[in-house]
Amino acid sequence: MANTFKIYEDLQDSFSEQQAKTLTKVISKVIIEESNIVTKVEFNDLKEIVAGLAVTVKELAEAQRRTEAKVEELAEAQRRTEAKVEELAEAQRRTEAKVEELAEAQRRTEAKVEELAEAQRRTEAKVEELAEAQRRTEAKVEELAEAQKKTEETVRRLVVDMSDVKKQLGGLSMAVGYGIEDKYIPVMESFALNRYGADIDIVERKHIIYPDGKYDEINLYLEGRIKNKKVYIIGESKAQPGKKDLDRFNLMLGRLRDYFKVKDDAVKGFMIGYIYAPEVEHYAQSKYPNIDLFKTYQIERIADSSRKKS
C-alpha cells in the first residue's frame, strides 16, 4: 500500500494544500494500479520513477514558486505602474484643467485685446474727427485773421479819415468861432457898456502866456473899467457850446484871475453860441452862474439897445 500521508507531507513542502492533495490522489491511484500488475523489480523501478517524478514535481513546485514570485513582482510592478499611470492620469487631468484655464484666459485676453483694438479704432476715429475739426478751426482762424487784417486796414483808413474829418471840423469850428469873433469885435464896446456898465479900452483876440510857458487863447479879450475899477471881460465863441466847453472855460477864468492877481468879480466871463441844448443851459445855470450865455443874435441887440433908448 502506498503511504499517502507520507506522500502528502512530502508534497505539502512544495505545493499548496490543495495542490498537494490533488497530487497525492493522483500518485496514490497510479501506485495502486501499478501494484496490481507489476513485479517487485518493476515496483522498485516504478518507485524510482515516482521518486524522480516527485523530484520533478518538486522542481516544478519550485519553478511554480519562482513563477508566482515573479508574477507577484510583476503584479506589484503592475500595481506601481497602474498607480504611476493614475498619477500621470491625475497629472494629465490637472494639466488639461490648467490648459483649459489657460485657454479660457487666452480667450478672455483675446476678447480684451479685441475690445482694446475696437477702442483704439474708435479713438483713432475720434482723433481723426478732432484733427479734421482742428483743420476746420485753423482754416476758420485763418479766415478770421485775414478778416481781422482787412478790418484793421479799414479801421486804420477810418482813423486817418476821422483824423482828417476832425481836422476839418476843427478848422470849421475855428472858422465859425473866428467868424463870430470877427463879426462881434466891432460892437464889443457897446455890448460891454450896455451889459456890464464897463468902459472898454482894449478889444482883441489874445494869447495869455503863463510863467511855465503854457498859454490860453482868448477869443474875445476886453479890458476896461467899471466905476474906475479895472475889469477883464473874457468871451468864448462856439457854434454850439457843450458842457465840456463850459468846464474848460471856467478853468481858464480861474487861471486868468490868478495871472491878473485880482478878485473873482474883476474877471467876468461870457459865452456866445448859435444855439445851446437845454441840458447845457441848465448845466451852466446850476454849476457856473458866473458865466453868462448869449446866443449870437443877442449880442447886436444888446449892443444896439443904447441907441434905441436914445
Please report the pLDDT score of residue 169 as a whole number: 43
Comparing 121 with 1, which gets the higher pLDDT?
121
Q: Is residue 55 part of a domain?
A: no
Split into its structural domains, the chain has a count of 1
Contact 200, 236 (CB under 8 A): no
- SS3 readout for 44-60: HHHHHHHHHHHHHHHHH
Q: Is residue 68 part of a domain?
A: no
Contact 189, 200 (CB under 8 A): yes
Judge whether residue 158 has pLDDT over 50.
yes
Q: Is residue 43 part of a domain?
A: no
- Domain with 199 in it: what CATH number? 3.40.1350.10
Q: Compute the average pLDDT of residues 277-302.
A: 97
Q: What percent of the chain has pLDDT over 90?
A: 43
Judge whether residue 171 has pLDDT over 70.
no
Domain that holds residue 276: 180-309
Identify the residue whose cell numbers are 491878473: 260
How many C-beta atoms surround the C-beta of residue 196 within 10 A?
17
Contact 181, 205 (CB under 8 A): yes
Going by pLDDT thresholds of 50, 70 and 90, the confidence category of residue 251 is: very high
Angstrom distance (rounded) from CA 297 to CA 108 = 103
Q: Compute the average pLDDT of residues 252-277.
A: 96
Comparing 142 with 217, which gets the higher pLDDT?
217
> 221 φ, ψ to 5°?
-110, 115
Please report the pLDDT score of residue 198 as a whole number: 97
Going by pLDDT thresholds of 50, 70 and 90, the confidence category of residue 172 is: very low
**What is the tens place of the pLDDT at every residue in 111-155?**
884 886 797 899 688 858 977 988 997 988 689 778 888 868 875
Please report the pLDDT score of residue 71 as a whole number: 63
Helix, strand, coil percentages (3-state) for the chain, rounded to 5, are 75, 15, 10
Angstrom distance (rounded) from CA 215 to CA 173 = 20
Q: Is residue 69 part of a domain?
A: no
**What is the tens place of the pLDDT at every residue in 60-85?**
678 778 868 886 887 797 889 588 85
Q: Is residue 79 part of a domain?
A: no
Please report the pLDDT score of residue 291 as a whole number: 97
Comparing 167 with 13, which gets the higher pLDDT?
13
Residue environment code for 216-235, b if the CB has 16+ CB neighbours within 10 A, otherwise e: bebbbbbbbebeeeebbbbb
Judge whether residue 201 has pLDDT over 70.
yes
Least confident range of 4-13, 52-61, 137-146: 52-61
**What is the tens place of the pLDDT at every residue in 33-42?**
766 665 666 6
Least confident range of 28-32, 50-54, 262-266: 50-54
Please report the pLDDT score of residue 39 as a whole number: 60
How many C-beta atoms surround the C-beta of residue 57 within 10 A?
21
Judge whether residue 58 has pLDDT over 60.
yes
Q: Is residue 50 part of a domain?
A: no
SS3 271: strand
Q: Is residue 122 part of a domain?
A: no
**What is the tens place of the pLDDT at every residue in 220-245?**
999 999 999 999 999 999 999 999 99
Q: Is residue 158 part of a domain?
A: no
